[in-house]
A = this chain, B = another copy of it.
Amino acid sequence: MTKSRLEAFSDGVLAIIITIMVLELRTPEGHEWSELFKVWPTLLAYVLSFVYVGIYWNNHHHLMLTVRRINGATLWANLNLLFWLSLFPFVSGWAGETHFAAVPMTCYAAVALMCALAFTVLTSVIVRADVSNHLLADALGSDLKSKLSMTGYVVAVLTPFLGQVGVVLSGVCLIAVALLWLIPDRRIERVLEHEHLS
């Protein structure tokens, strides 16, 4: 089975998710600076979500570089990831419009956590589909960055229940995890270069 259509479809869905989030930025009703300032929480949520979807596109791109065989399970594990990513516009808009209230923040972090779990599932399905592909297994190695992210997401899900300080802490965790991943994933890139594939 070809991986090019899987990539094309995933690129399409990710491109749409990252772009329709801007539709949550409703045009202000007046034409004063004060009206624009009312939009800032939605804009801030948009920036964070844009970075998150960008990170997933980036990592998906890297992951697919190592893949040689795709089966039915891979297709569905990939669709599962795309489903959770597609909820970003919803939770992003909700968090922004409520000026980062506790429940929307918990939901935002929960969606981020589910995306991370779905990416882990996709990776392991791909490894299992092609056990002879040491390229990918080597590239992943001990996954410190993933474990740090998961911890960050779980903290971000729970802290909003502690009140206003918890909401701020939740936001700090989500931003910290995003910054952690802005550094591109050198592990896979490095192994690929060793194999002269890149």
CB contact between A20 and one of B23, B72, B79, B103 (< 8 Å): that residue: B23
Residue from A12, A50, A87 whose CB has the most chain B CB atoms within 10 Å? A12
Name the prevailing secondary structure of the A interface residues: helix
Evaluate whether A13 and B15 lie within 8 angstroms (CB atoms) in the complex, with A27-B90, A31-B103, A72-B189 already known: yes
Copies of this chain, tallied across the complex? 4
- A13 neighbours in B (Cβ, 8 Å): 15, 18-19
A175 close to chain B: CB less than 8 A: no
A171 close to chain B: CB less than 8 A: no
How many chain A residues touch B (Cβ–Cβ < 8 Å)?
65
Task: Indicate if the CB atoms of A93 and B184 lie closer than 8 Å.
Answer: no
Task: Indicate if the CB atoms of B11 and A103 lie closer than 8 Å.
Answer: no
- A138 neighbours in B (Cβ, 8 Å): none
Q: A1-B65, A13-B18, A58-B79 are in contact. List 5 more A-B contacts (CB 8 A).
A: A5-B61, A22-B90, A35-B103, A54-B76, A54-B79
Contacts from A to B (Cβ < 8 Å) = 1-2, 5, 7-9, 11-20, 22-25, 27-28, 30-33, 35-36, 47, 50, 54, 57-58, 61, 64-65, 71-73, 75-76, 79, 82-83, 86-87, 89-90, 93-94, 97-98, 101-104, 107, 182-186, 189, 192, 198
